[in-house]
Amino acid sequence: MPDIKDITRENWILGAFPEWGTWLNEEIDNTEVKPGTFAMWWIGCTGVWVKTENDTNLAVDLWFGNGKRTQKKKYMDEYHQMANMTGGRLTQPNLRAAPVVYDPFAVTKVDAVLATHYHNDHIDPFFAAAVLKNCKPDVPFIGPKESVKKWLSYGVPEERCKVVKPGDVLHIGDSEITVLDSFDRTCLVTADGDIRHTCLDNLDDKAVNYL
């Protein structure tokens, strides 16, 4: 039994987080997919994990971070995408609502890491770091141009990154992935400066969908 004199905030975080420990990691690793089918797990928020009958594992839009953590900042940044999209200025309460159900640092196998776009709730430095440390040395990081730029900023080697655009077709293990165009207007209006009076025509560099 723990002695409360030795309990710290760090003890609590390490003892209680991630909330599911490695339960879901083990389930994914141990699942045998029946021929002619595939298995899919929701990893929280927009993240999904796909596993095929031949043990091809695809991780799409995994995110292990969090949203707002304090009410102390009253206003969004001047050109924040939500400010651009809605015209609002007060910080929106976009707190992470889904628990972290997968331990990124316990990943044992993945064949490709994919991101649909580069917003922080669709691309994750923790999972990238764990994949580079734990998995085979040729796992690709796949996404549109802006997603790849973000992976490179994290330190993912350039040779591990692959930029895709609508119309591309990829083969990962026994899976064929077709890259489709996106209609994510929030991503379209994500910018570092004033976009008023600007024709925004670079969405293919920012966001894609996958089939």
pLDDT of residue 114: 99
103 pLDDT band (50/70/90 cuts)?
Answer: very high
The answer on pLDDT for 85 being more than 90 is no
Domains in the chain: ranges and CATH: 4-210 (3.60.15.10)
pLDDT of residue 200: 87
Query: pLDDT digit string (tens) for 150-193?
Result: 999 999 999 999 999 999 999 999 999 999 999 998 999 998 88
The answer on pLDDT for 1 being more than 80 is no
Q: Is 98:44 a contact under the CB 8 Å cutoff? A: yes
Pick the most confident of 69-73, 79-83, 93-97.
Answer: 69-73
* Amino acid residing at 172: I
Query: pLDDT digit string (tens) for 106-139?
Result: 999 999 999 999 999 999 999 999 999 999 999 9
Query: pLDDT digit string (tens) for 11-53?
Result: 999 999 999 999 999 999 999 999 999 999 999 999 999 999 9
pLDDT of residue 192: 86
Instruction: State how far the alpha carbon of 132 is from the alpha carbons of 67, 124, 151, 157, in Å.
Output: 25, 13, 12, 9
Instruction: State how far the alpha carbon of 154 is from the alpha carbons of 7, 67, 157, 161, 189, in Å.
Output: 33, 19, 9, 12, 23
